[in-house]
Structure 1
Amino acid sequence: MAQRLQKRDKPTLPGNTDWPPETVEWFNAWRGDRCTDRWDAKQWQYMMDTAIVHALVYGSADYGSLPELHRRLAFMGLRFEDD
């Protein structure tokens, strides 16, 4: 059985980047969500890569990256449209 991770045991955003506040808040919301308690290293790496895309959109106003961000969020299970 997989061990449940506490928020303190989950990865944090690397400190060597000036992350936009929106990305920090978004990332921390995922860290605090119980759905990430059983994520493995590969899932957290995908999350880190998605944080970079999120930062491009929210920190650099790179709206051309929005479709990629939406694809990644949908892959992670975050959907608002009816299936």
Structure 2
Amino acid sequence: MAGNGPPPKANDRRVRRNKDTVPQTVLRWERAEPPELPDFRIERDGDLVEFEWPERTREWWRMWIDSPQAEHFGSSDWQFLLDTALIHARLWRGDASAAAELRLRVAAFGATPADRARLRMVFADADGADAGRGASGQPTARERYGALRMVSGGQGERASGE
């Protein structure tokens, strides 16, 4: 099965720090509102019939609309994702040949943790939401054990006060 390889190293861990030979093109950002899944007709047995989106594809589409990535989607991103929804619908109707293309397309949007790592996506509010504490909100290890100090003594020595 083909893939994209491991996520890239962080810049400060790279041995070679060659500059990009091709300059970047900076575009003006315009956020686009997500479209609804469209109503349309398809040809089936010589007749035009209304296309019905599988319920699973409707849930998948709503998941993308609600995803953190969606706030960074422009109009061309939504159009590409809309075409991807048709592939998703094919898969959920039993066309397993659509799986590879679907996997490649959703990877471009950061669908899995590995995809997000490869795209260098991180969730910004993760540490701010709990003030740097774990999900439980309990004190950190540094707060619990920060005052402890290691006492070293040679073998056979006794701690003072014994």
TM-score, structure 1 as length reference: 0.79
- Residue of structure 1 in register with 2:84 after alignment: 50
Secondary structure of residue in 2 paired with 1:37: helix
Please state how far the C-alpha of 1:79 moved relative to its aligned partner.
Answer: 2.6
Please state how far the C-alpha of 1:4 moved relative to its aligned partner.
Answer: 6.1
1:11 aligns with 2:44: no
1:79 aligns with 2:103: no
C-alpha separation in 2, matches of 1:63 and 1:46? 20
After superposition, the Cα gap between the structure-2 partners of 1:33 and 1:79, relative to the gap in structure 1 and judged at 3 Å, is closer
- Residue of structure 2 in register with 1:20 after alignment: 54
C-alpha separation in 2, matches of 1:48 and 1:35? 15
- Residue of structure 2 in register with 1:70 after alignment: 103
C-alpha separation in 2, matches of 1:34 and 1:77? 10
Aligned residues: 79
Give the percent of matched residue pairs that are identical in Structure 1 and Structure 2.
29
- Residue of structure 1 in register with 2:71 after alignment: 37
Greater relative contact order: 1 or 2 (C-alpha under 8 angstroms, separation 6 or more)? 1
After superposition, the Cα gap between the structure-2 partners of 1:25 and 1:18, relative to the gap in structure 1 and judged at 3 Å, is same
Structure 1 unmatched runs, 5+: none
Q: Deviations over 1:31-51 (max 9, x none)?
A: 112320231110001100100
C-alpha separation in 2, matches of 1:40 and 1:70? 21
| Structure richer in strand, relative to its length | 2
Structure 2 unmatched runs, 5+: 1-27, 41-50, 119-162
C-alpha separation in 1, matches of 2:68 and 2:52? 27
| Structure richer in helix, relative to its length | 1
C-alpha separation in 1, matches of 2:83 and 2:31? 23
